[in-house]
Structure 1
């Protein structure tokens, strides 16, 4: 099962892109630059950040872009498969409208892709994302793409989330009533009379 992460980017999007392209370390994490791509018209992943930045100079947007990460299961897939999954995933979650750069890193136990996406879509509209609202859809899309590529998927992991009340009920300490019920459920099979029960409960 692929894992997915997401961050909103503030400030200078070029710096975020330089980081994922691993420019300071001669692109060692990306096979010397072999595992980087962009779907932007610039054609050059290294210049895409400047293109994104320049396109935002006259707009009022607190987010300059988004940083996504999708990680393959340990021991599954290779750099090219990861690249294909990242591209397909981005196209699905954005309806084919996202402008992005993908950099696949192979310096950890599991191959993973970093994606820097413009805050504006191909149609010129601002891409507004709330991870809380979108996380299940993003993860479901990632699972579907992985399944199509023959990677493992944990079925139904994201099928139903708990409400806040359900989470509180599950994690809250036992009430006095619940503690009394548990105690009686434990004691009653172990006593033979009401007197025994009273003695046990006093103890």
Structure 2
């Protein structure tokens, strides 16, 4: 069973990228008060690709769809510049979280990459990172807010979210995994719930 969620990233793109790339951090930093700019994209990408969360021995569970992970920020920014859309929402950050023990890290990442291809691969640049730092393997997706095809912005609405969850459910069925109940589709993952309860900053409490 995989639960999905997506939200816009405004302001500094660097904040989430730096978090992902910091090997010592296990939770999101306080991003309040940061001004808008290209750094926000970098922060999102670093958060998603955090070595401490995405590595197991010598394996790195980070992939790029229509971009190269190592230079994803530059490529996403170039797309924005080409179409004159460098302001506003800089990216969208989504996740796909599985039940504890239901998938291996390799399977989780493979499903995440395929999900990104099916949902956004024909129009957007996406960084896919599988985090292994909790009891639930989960994928993070950083989606450029501007399409490299025609410069149109990603339309984050109920219809596109439904398409995301439906595609995730379809992939789970193909892999012989359980499918999320409709009532659980918008439920916050337990690890995030516990973090919020303990007063730690999370993606939900920050933005």
TM-score, normalised with respect to structure 2: 0.65
Query: Which moves more between the two structures, 123-132 or 1-10?
Result: 123-132
Distance (Å, rounded) in 2 between the aligned partners of 1:69 and 1:29: 14
Match of 1:55 in 2: 79
The Cα of 1:76 is off from its aligned counterpart by 0.7
Partner of 1:19: 19
**How big is the shift at 1:114?**
0.7
Give the whole-Å Cα distance in 1 for the aligned partners of 2:9 and 2:2. 22
What is the match of residue 124 of structure 2?
Answer: 98
**Hey, what does 1:134 align to over in structure 2?**
160
CA RMSD of aligned residues (A): 2.3
From 93, 115, 120, the counterpart of 2:146: 120
- The 1:116–1:154 alpha-carbon spacing in structure 2 relative to 1, beyond 3 Å, is closer
Change in CA separation of 1:55 and 1:125 when aligned onto 2, cut-off 3 Å: closer
Q: Which structure has more RCO (C-alpha within 8 Å, separation ≥ 6)?
A: 2
Q: Does 1:78 align with 2:104?
A: yes
Structure number with greater Rg is 1
Q: Could you list the runs of 5+ residues in structure 2 that have no partner in the other structure?
A: 25-49, 184-207
Residue of structure 1 equivalent to 2:3 = 3
Larger helix proportion of the pair: 1
Change (3 A) 1:14 1:46: farther
1:48 Cα deviation (Å)? 0.7
Indicate the SS of the match to 2:60.
coil
Quick one: distance in 2 between partners of 1:77 and 1:123? Answer: 34
Q: Measure the CA separation in 2 of the matches of 1:2 and 1:131.
A: 20
Separation (CA, whole Å) in 2 of partners of 1:122 and 1:98: 6
Partner of 2:53: 29
Judged with a 3 Å threshold, the aligned counterparts in structure 2 of structure 1 residues 14 and 54 are, in CA distance, closer, same or farther, namely farther
